[in-house]
Amino acid sequence: MTIKVALAGAGAFGIKHLDAIKLIDGVEVTSLVSRDLGKTQEVATKYGIGHVTTDLAESLARSDVDAVILCTPTQMHAAQAVACMKAGKHVQVEIPLADSLRDAYRVVQMQENTGLVAMCGHTRRFNPSHQWVRQRITAGQFNIQQMDVQTFFFRRTNMNALGQARSWTDHLLWHHAAHTVDLFAYQAQSPIVKAHALQGPIHPALGIAMDMSIQLKAANGAICTLSLSFNNDGPLGTYFRYIGDTGTYLARYDDLYDGKDQKIDVSQVAVSMNGIELQDREFFAAIREGRQPNGAVAQVLPCYEVLHQLDVQLKN
């Protein structure tokens, strides 16, 4: 059975998913949705996608769409995920699931009501570097004492990952912190029981904090320190230091190093070195196997409960 997919959002991340899907057998993108029809048509032509629209509802009404991947602005994620499931379509929504806890609950409730596959793109669960560490944890060979994480970008203007102007505003807490809050609890195999946050000045035009510091503690005693910045003028990216009882590991996207900065071979961890491709493979496998995926919306909900706690702290 070929799984037929609509992809919404033909920006930087949408392109990453299109490139990943090309490598996965038995999956075809049949519809592409984005707000600029001309640019969307260009992308559709490049990837051989037959249907193009600016209206998600038009794609959801099509019989040749079984599932939807949402790579749209954060503020649209929850409502669009609910609309997909209402239309009987499986859905993978890029991180974050929502930008409020109330909306995250709405998505989880709709999944429970419909029984459809609903997944959020918590890519760090799938990066081979983090999977390698996870395998040592589940084998009882490594336990986290502390995670030290830096998420650094240079975005003093509103740009996407391709350096193009954005039509919406990104957020350090509800988007970028979500990766680490979820990963910490997942890797520690223990729920987060304490969370604190500080933020720097609010940007006068963007209306968001450009710098943030977060501290987390899991029930098993492990701690996490997360520093985030949109003000950082290089090097860019997210760097994870796992400090454990039997070693130290540094994860830089799909690469992994030990505490002596020697590279660890993670090429055999999974069928690909591309976290997005592995994430998409899990989504399609869950649909085929009639199960909820790793990264199911109910699984990641505790992350958004913590983000909500931090949001309330920062607002007060």
Structure tokens that stand for 152 in this block: 């650094």
Q: What is the pLDDT of residue 220?
A: 98
Q: What is the pLDDT of residue 232?
A: 86
What is the CATH topology of the domain spanning 3-122+276-295? Answer: Rossmann fold (3.40.50)
Looking at the domain covering 127-269, what would its CATH class be? Answer: alpha beta
In this prediction the pTM is 0.94
Q: What is the pLDDT of residue 157?
A: 63
| Alpha carbon separation from 137 to 69, 90, 134, 215 (Å, rounded) | 31, 31, 5, 22
DSSP state of 200: -
DSSP string, 97-149: S-SSHHHHHHHHHHHHHH---EEEE-GGGTSHHHHHHHHHHHTTS--EEEEEE
Structure tokens that stand for 13 in this block: 């991340």
Q: How do strand 211-218 and strand 144-152 relate by DSSP bridges? A: unpaired
> Hey, where are the domains in the chain?
3-122+276-295, 127-269
Structure tokens that stand for 18 in this block: 């299109």
Q: What is the pLDDT of residue 206?
A: 81
Contact partners, residue 280, CB within 8 Å, separation at least 6:
17, 20, 21, 24, 27, 69, 92
pLDDT tens per residue across all 316 residues of the chain: 899 999 999 998 999 999 999 999 999 999 999 999 999 999 999 999 999 999 999 999 999 999 999 999 999 999 999 999 999 999 999 999 999 999 999 999 999 999 999 999 999 999 999 999 999 999 999 999 999 999 998 776 656 555 666 554 578 899 999 999 999 999 999 999 999 999 999 888 888 889 999 999 999 999 999 999 988 888 788 899 999 999 999 998 789 999 999 999 999 999 999 999 999 999 999 999 999 999 999 999 999 999 999 999 999 8
